[in-house]
Amino acid sequence: MEKFEFWEEGYKKFVRFAHNKDFVLESGKTFGPITVAYEVYGEINKEKNNIILITHALTGDSHVAKHSEDDPKPGWWDKFVGPGKMIDTNKYFVICSNVFGGCQGTTGPSSIDPETGKPYGARFPIITIKDMVNVQKKLLDALKIDHILCVVGGSMGGMQALEWAVSYPDFMDGVINIASPLKLNAQSIAFNEVMRRAIMADPNWHGGDYYDKTGPSQGLSIARMLGMITYQSDKLMDRKFNRRMKDPVESFFESFNTEFEVESYLHYQGMKLVQRFDANTYLYLTRAMDLYDLGRTYGSEEEALKRIKAKFLLIAITSDILFPLSQMRYMRDKLLEAGVDLVYKEIESDYGHDSFLVEEDKYRNIISEFLELLYNKEMIR
């Protein structure tokens, strides 16, 4: 019988398993021990049919929402999750964990390798979206949860939600995938590679062994700057910044140490991420996104998608330049061809990929009604 260790630090909870290094990765390698940081909201009802798993995007963590008005730390989805909100924690029991490979409590490159007493760094194994989902499944096993109402995720979280539906088709009643395609296209892989190279070209990366010295803050900052460009639409950028300058126009002829407002914004966002995120984790998670390909794992996309039994809500964003409508409509068509019970919605927005984090009014009815449909169906059984 597998051994699970549990402990808590404030609102954050932890479970550790694979003490004998016996967790099998998609690569075929074994790894362990693994610690998972997670947070929960609301209460499990007596029927145990109100459980929702939320999976996070690239730089997210387990803190999906504030636990109370006194909670000093904002949640990354505060507008969506909480009492009376579209994912209503008065009604649903919500679980969110930091992904495997992360840097917010779950084992990742910055974690200590028990064999060396030093952070893994670049010795951490290459991982996949499937590995992240299998670790989440171990978490739910540890919590003695054998079925959930829905798994919900956007962007990289949407990839995890899709993988859940394919790998564990009987485990959930519904899936909500927001702004995440079946696989990354060449352009998205190219963006990720440029971001990784910015980190690895920083002289302070030190081959991934920087934890006892100054880290690659400039490289990570530049990676984030590029990422922020892909998360927003050109229309939104024009509206927010246009060509406004922070410095007098005359100074632009004297030095490169001058800024347009959009440049100032990108610099701020880059350094803000440096304060809370690990550069190696950025490398590993973007590579996991690159590798995500259901066709490779299950023989073909068609065979993979035929495994899905859950009702599926797929949401696309009209102005998304990272995962544009063409990719999302391709996914819609493939899901329908596979016979998946699908609800497909397109959100009209100028916010680009970031829409699913900020425009709660546009998602409220779609998501709350889908969850209500699942929940009522469960209550009738």
- Provide DSSP, 157-219: HHHHHHHHHHHSTTSEEEEEEES--SB--HHHHHHHHHHHHHHHTSTTSGGG--TTS---HHH
Cα dist from 215 to 58, 68, 86, 194, whole Å: 20, 34, 39, 19
Q: Collapse the DSSP code of 14 into the 3-class scheme (helix H, G, I; strand E, B; otherwise coil) and give the result.
A: strand
Q: Where are the alpha helices (DSSP H) in the chain?
A: 129-142, 156-167, 186-200, 217-231, 234-240, 261-274, 279-291, 294-298, 301-305, 325-337, 355-358, 360-380
Say which amino acid occupies 263.
E
Number of neighbouring beta carbons within 10 Å of residue 264: 16
d(CA 212, CA 208): 11
* Residue 155 bears catalytic tag: yes
> Degrees (nearest 5) of the Cα angle 96, 100, 105?
70
Say which amino acid occupies 271.
M
Active-site residue identified among 320, 349, 350, 355: 320
Active-site residue identified among 131, 233, 353, 355: 353
The answer to whether the CB of 122 falls within 8 A of the CB of 209 is yes
* Residue 320 bears catalytic tag: yes
Q: Is 224 a known ligand-binding residue?
A: yes
Active-site residue identified among 62, 110, 155, 319: 155
The 10 Å CB-count burial string (b at 16+, else e) for 316-348 is bbebbebbbeebbeebbebbeebebebebbebe
Annotated binding site: 224, 354
Annotated binding site for substrate: 224, 354
Q: Which residues are catalytic?
A: 155, 320, 353
